[in-house]
Each structure stands twice: as C-alpha cells, then as structure tokens.
Amino acid sequence: MLKNTLITALILVITITFQINAANGTCIVSGKVTDSDGKPVIGANVYFSATTFGSAADVDGKYQISGITPGAYTIFVSAIGFEKIEKEIILTLNNKYDFNFTLRPALLEMGSVVVTGTSTPHLYENVPVKTEIIPACLIEQKKSVNLAGALSLQTGVSVENECNNCNFTQVRILGFDGKYTQILIDGDPVISSLGGVYGLEHYPSEMISQIEIVKGGGSALYGAGAIAGTVNLRTRRPSFNNSRVSYLINSVDGNTDQQIGAVAEIVNNNSTSGVFVFGSTREREAYDRNGDGLTELGKLNNETIGFNFFNRPMQNGELTISFHRIHEERRGGGGLDRPIHEAPIGEWTEHLKWGGKLKWEHSVYKKFDYNAHYSFSFLTRDSYYGGLPDNSDEARLKALNSYGYSKNPLHVAGLQGNFYAGFHTISAGMQFFYDKLEDKSVSTSDYNIDQNTTNFGIFIQDEFKFDEHGDITLVSGLRIDKHSEINTPILSPRINLKFSITHEIQLRAGYTSGFKAPQIFNEDLHICGLEGTQRVIRNSNNLKEERSHSFNLGAEYQGFIGNMALLFGVTGFYSRLNGAYSEEFVEATDTFELWKRVNSEGAYVGGIELDFGIKPVNNIEVRSGVIIKSNKYDNKIDDFSTHEFLRTSNYSGYVRTSYNPLELLNLFVAASFNGPQYVPHEKVAPDSEDPVFELHRSETFVILDLGMSYKIPMFESFGGALSVGIRNLGDVYQKDLDYGNERDPGYIYGPSQPRTYYMGFQSNF
C-alpha cells in the first residue's frame, strides 16, 4: 500500500510540474552544435560554468537555454567523442543570443563529464584523478544488456562467473576480489552486500548513461568498501524528446537469451523540466555445456522499470527524482523441469528491489553551491540452496530445509557544499549510511543473520589549481568515519597531483586510502558446495577493518597530430592491504559448514598499465590496454599452500576497433586476452567424507567478438537500426568442467559464454 501510494505521488508531481512553465528569464541563449562535416551533434552538452543553466542539443543539433540573468559567464560545449569548446560571453538585459559551435571529432572518452574521482564535475581530459569511462554509445556497440556486460574491455577490470549453478558474478579491479570494489549508483553506495551478490546483472543498459571507474582506495569520498576501486553507475537523465524500443536475441550455443527494452524522454521547451522513463525485460534459457544435466548458465528472468525526473523551480536550483523497480528470478543446477526441492542439485533466487534517489542542488551564487540527497534500496530475496541426493523420505524432508529468506532495507543520506575561492574548490560534507540485513534459513536458526549496520562520515577536500588554467592541480582530502562495527573512528586521507607539461601531456600521481568494515559480505550470502552442502561464514569476535593504501604514478598524452586524435598513457600502481580477511573452519553439522572470518597479515598488488588510442580519420577508432601485475598474500592460503591471488591473471589486455565505412554502417571488432590464473578446486575424496582441495593453473584465453549495425532511415521522425554479431567467435571455453552431482560448482573459469550469435533491432521515434 505504501509503495503504491509513493508511486502515485511521484507520478502526480511529474504531471503537475509539466503543466507549469518556469518563469521567462531575462536572457535566452540558443544556437546549433555541429561536427566538422556540418552534421548535428545530438546530445551535445551546452552549459554555463558554476550554474545549473544548461541544455542538450536535439536531433537537429539545436539547443536553447532560458532564464539566464545578465552577467559574464564561461560557456562550455562538450560531447562524447569530441574536443570541448570553452567561450567567455557577456549577457545583458532582455537580449537573445545565438551561438553556433563546431566540434572536432576526438577519441570516444573525450568530452565526457566525470564526477567520481573528486565528487565534482570535470571534463574527462581535465580530471585530476585518472578515471576510466564507459559511455552509453560503447555499451550499445558491445550490445551489453546490463552492468556486468558493460564492464568488459577495460584495462585492469574483469567480470567473472563464480558459480556454475546460479552464475554469481564479481567485478575485479587490479586482481582484488569483488568485495573490495565499491559499486555506486549516481555516487551513492546503495548496492548492499546482499544486492551485490547478483547485482551486476540486475541493472539493465537502458538505465545507464555512463560508467566511471576509479582504481585504488576511495574511502576519502565514499566511505566503507572502496579498497580496490570504485565503479559509479550514472543513470540517464532526459536530454531531448525521444523514444526508443529495442529487441535483442542471442543464441547461446542454440539456447536463447532475449531482451526487450524501451525508453522515452521528454523535456519542456525551455529545458527546465524533463523525465526519462525506461523498462526492460530479459529471459535466458539454461545452458549445459558438457551434457551432465547441470547448468553452466542458469535460467534467468529479469524485469526492470523506472524513471529519472528533473525540475528547475528556481534560478540556479534543481530537483531530481529517480526510481526503479527490479524483479529477477534465476535458477541453476539440475532437474529444471521439477520443483526446486526435488532437483538433485539446485540453486534458486527471486529478488524484488525498489530503489531511488531524491536530490536537491542549488548554486547560491558563483562562489558557493550545495546539494542534499537521500537514496534508498528495499530488497527482499527468497532462495533455495540445496539438493536431493536420493528419493528416500528422509532425504525429501531434509531437502525442504534448504529454503531461505532475506530482507535488506538500506538508506543513504548526505549533504555536500562546494566553495570556490580563487583557485581553490573546497568541498565538505557528511554522509549517513544505514543497512539492515535479515537472512533466515528454514532448517536452523543457528546461522540466521540479523544485523544493523550504520556509518557516519564527514569529509573535506581542497582542489587547488596553481594557475587559472589548472596546469598544476593538487587535490587533498580527509574523511573520518564512525562505523557501528568498529570502536574507534577511521581516518581516510588522500592526495592527488596533476601536472600538465603541455596542453596535451599530463603527469598524475596520487595516494589514496580505503577501508572495509567487518560486516556481512556478499560471499556469506551465496552458497556453493559439493552435493548441496551449505557453507556459512560469520565474523569472529574483535574483527578489525581491512585497510588499503594505494599509490599511483602515470603520464598521459591526449591530443591531436594534425586532425588525428591520439592517446597514450602509462601508469604504475601499488596497493597494500593490511589486516586482510581470511576464513577458518569451525564445524560441520549435517549439510552445513560453519567458517569464521579472521584478520590475516595482508596482501599487495603492484604493476603497470598501458593504454593506447588513435583516431587516424573520423570514421575509424582503435583503443587498447594492457595490464601486467603481481598479486600476493603475506601468508599462504590454507588448503592451497600459495601466496598468489586466486582467480586473477597477472597479465591481460584488450583491443577494440570501431569503423564506419559508410555513414549509416558501423563495424565493431574486439579482442581480449587473459593469462593463466590459479583456480581452487574442491573434490570428493574416495572413501572419505573430507573433501580434497587442489589448485589448477588455467590456460590463456583469447576471445574475439565481431559486430555490425546499420541505421535504417525511414521517415523524418522515425528510424531504426539493425545489428548482428558473434561473441566468442572461437568458442573458447573451460575444457575440464566437473561432471555430475558431485561437481564443485565454484570450479569455473574463463569466458562465461560460449560462441554466441546475436541479432537486434531498434526503432527511434
């Protein structure tokens, strides 16, 4: 009842707002944004520095900004894949101004506005903290259906399937486990431990505007969890009047995986209000690679709907409201034609998630602005992790004990102010985080979870430009957190330096810190074991936080040689992890194993990244990256007698090429490689109830993807696009999959999909 009332109220707010036009301003700025060939740059951002005045170019490249008070301004024009333009203008009373802009094509990332590294907006080419960008157009080229797929083809970033039964995925940055990466939605940590188990596949591409990745500790801005890096999913906001419906079907070695998506955006005439609505539904059939009756890819159904809304009710003030609802059901293992508790091995989950954000931004005057925000996530999960070893009455009764239920409300509230004093941008704020987790099992209450976690943090940061151009920029900051699971406050400092030798050549250096508090993690809420055995992990008493200290030093060239855009970067990095968590066996009872989490000595990751990009002509772009690293724990891992990180390669890389031989035709080719990695393998020992642990060194995988899309012009206000392609052309896949009911479902590595053909159609109107 409450949820329905909330939805009705939000829809009413949107409806009323669109009936009210903002008051006419004293000045109007309009014009057209085109590329070097005179074609409109759709979606180009035109905005005024240190204000909320701005607009996006429509399908004709035209923009208009109203309600601007007279004065001197700096106007910026940027678009993804183009070189930015900066222009000083003076506006006087009751005048209309026309400014036309021509943008020069550049590499894909250039022109993007990023916020993750400093929590304040910067153009990608000027950001003082190195940030990786995945724009929506690249996600579209790759035909990624969700966040997990979108994160591929990035240097030092990998997404891996960790379980054959239910396909629990993790994103690894610089080799660290997924629990060390903090996932944000529009800058807020609203993907909880429970939500992070399958969360990478929950969020469809329709809601993603851009993904920003910052490697290294990020707790100085974002609090607990940002140890290896931060991934910020930025949702789409309305830019111009447009609607789109798309359909994508994949043939996964003969099994279908299909998605239907729809988006619509509406903006009023003076760009003071707008709404973006999206919906997505996906259905994937189960896939069994080796014919043993157990899945390698489970059956999946996902439905998502949501909206983003903004309104500027006053000069220099903006209210944004976002909301989404996600419903997903997945099932893996065997016996898919039977009830889950009658399957020999079965994993099943059903998630229902409501999430959203309310944010107010206000530029009080040119020297000060602030924002206040509140985000929430309400997540429930029904689950089953178990199996039916035989058809006896006793086994059937025990099988019913493997059902579980989880409930996880989460709230994040914050306030941030930015003060501009000369060459200083001083940001300060506070954040409150509340996470309640209930996790119950039918069989026993011994391992139930009922945990309330809170964290309150305050932070301050100074971004100091040594000159008006920001050729030398120093970012320093400090955050203090009081976490409910830690007795003493936690200090997280940071310092970053950017030095521009020339306009094209930049040096960056930095130190950042991160921490992770001893709360329940996503691995604790996902169970993989032999013969349906449930492995439960709980925190030991007096567990301390993990701490990371990250250092980086790099050089980058971003510029043009003639009209050829070129990027080359090299970055060295080192991250030290102290008090790393490890697990110790406690006891086993029936189908449960109890383990406890303890602090160990620590670990480190060190290495080098190389990035290269070139756009020799306007219709060809090549991007590539390579990482070479070393990952080691101080102490050997129990059962495997190794210092090496598991499930991560010491070297990997990618290359992707986008080519437009014709104006309406795009060809996309991508290749990635991953070196050998150590993979744990648990086997049933002959004539013994104790398992045997082995460590397998995998082979090197090279994956090739091909894609083609063709835009179909139909009518002036209606068009479409047809896409076809092949993923994993060589059908490279793990060759030594376990077989049968006694398999280790966690023994899986390499590409998560076999050779996959896809075809898609998209209509725009």
CATH code for the domain in which residue 82 is found = 2.60.40.10
Examine the domain organization and report whether 303 and 264 are in the same domain.
yes
Examine the domain organization and report whether 81 and 153 are in the same domain.
no
Residue 503 has pLDDT above 60, yes or no: yes
- The 10s digit of each residue's pLDDT in 540-566 is 777 888 899 999 999 999 999 988 999
pLDDT of residue 9: 39
Q: Which residue, 80, 103, 126, sits at the end of a domain? A: 103
Examine the domain organization and report whether 70 and 133 are in the same domain.
no
Examine the domain organization and report whether 501 and 618 are in the same domain.
yes
Per DSSP, the chain holds a count of helices (H) and strands (E) of: 5, 43
Most confident of the following: 27-31, 35-39, 108-112, 353-357 = 353-357
Report the C-alpha gap between 669 and 683 in whole angstroms. Answer: 39
Residue 60 has pLDDT above 60, yes or no: yes
pLDDT of residue 19: 37
Instruction: Tell me, rounded to whole angstroms, the distance of Cα 618 from its chain centroid.
Output: 29
Examine the domain organization and report whether 289 and 381 are in the same domain.
yes
- The 10s digit of each residue's pLDDT in 305-363 is 999 999 999 878 999 999 999 999 999 999 999 999 999 999 999 999 999 999 999 98
**Would you say residue 403 lies in a domain?**
yes
Q: Letter for the amino acid at 727?
A: R
Report the C-alpha gap between 516 and 518 in whole angstroms. Answer: 7
Report the C-alpha gap between 696 and 711 in whole angstroms. Answer: 46
Find the mean pLDDT for residues 624-638: 92
Examine the domain organization and report whether 34 and 179 are in the same domain.
no
Examine the domain organization and report whether 59 and 121 are in the same domain.
no
List, in order, residues 6 or more apart from 725 with CB less than 8 Å away.
Answer: 143, 668, 705, 706, 707, 708, 757, 758
**Would you say residue 580 lies in a domain?**
yes
pLDDT of residue 523: 57
- Full-model pTM: 0.90
Q: Which residue, 103, 135, 150, sits at the end of a domain? A: 103
Examine the domain organization and report whether 48 and 124 are in the same domain.
no
**Would you say residue 646 lies in a domain?**
yes
Give residue 47's domain range: 2-103
**Considering the chain, what is the average pLDDT of its residues?**
88
Q: Which residue, 103, 138, 158, sits at the end of a domain? A: 103
**Would you say residue 710 lies in a domain?**
yes
pLDDT of residue 1: 44
Residue 164 has pLDDT above 80, yes or no: yes
| 546-561/602-617 β-pairing | unpaired
Examine the domain organization and report whether 598 and 713 are in the same domain.
yes
Examine the domain organization and report whether 9 and 60 are in the same domain.
yes
**Would you say residue 478 lies in a domain?**
yes
Structurally, how many domains does the chain consist of?
2
**Would you say residue 108 lies in a domain?**
no
Q: In which residue are the tokens 């002509």 written?
A: 617
Q: Letter for the amino acid at 318?
A: E
Which SS3 state, helix, strand or coil, does residue 733 take? Answer: coil
Residue 12 has pLDDT above 60, yes or no: no
Examine the domain organization and report whether 11 and 139 are in the same domain.
no
Examine the domain organization and report whether 54 and 187 are in the same domain.
no
Residue 712 has pLDDT above 70, yes or no: yes
pLDDT of residue 92: 82
Residue 221 has pLDDT above 50, yes or no: yes
For the purposes of burial, counting CB atoms within 10 Å of the CB of 548, is it exposed (0-12), middle (13-18) or buried (19 or more)? buried
- 599 vs 205, residue with greater confidence: 205
- 586 vs 100, residue with greater confidence: 100
- 707 vs 445, residue with greater confidence: 707
Residue 637 has pLDDT above 80, yes or no: yes
- The 10s digit of each residue's pLDDT in 69-82 is 788 888 889 888 88
List, in order, residues 6 or more apart from 723 with CB less than 8 Å away.
Answer: 143, 248, 707, 708, 709, 710, 758, 759, 760, 761, 762
Read off the CATH number of the domain in which 207 is found: 2.40.170.20
Find the mean pLDDT for residues 474-503: 94
Using 50, 70 and 90 to split pLDDT, how confident is the model at 524? Answer: low
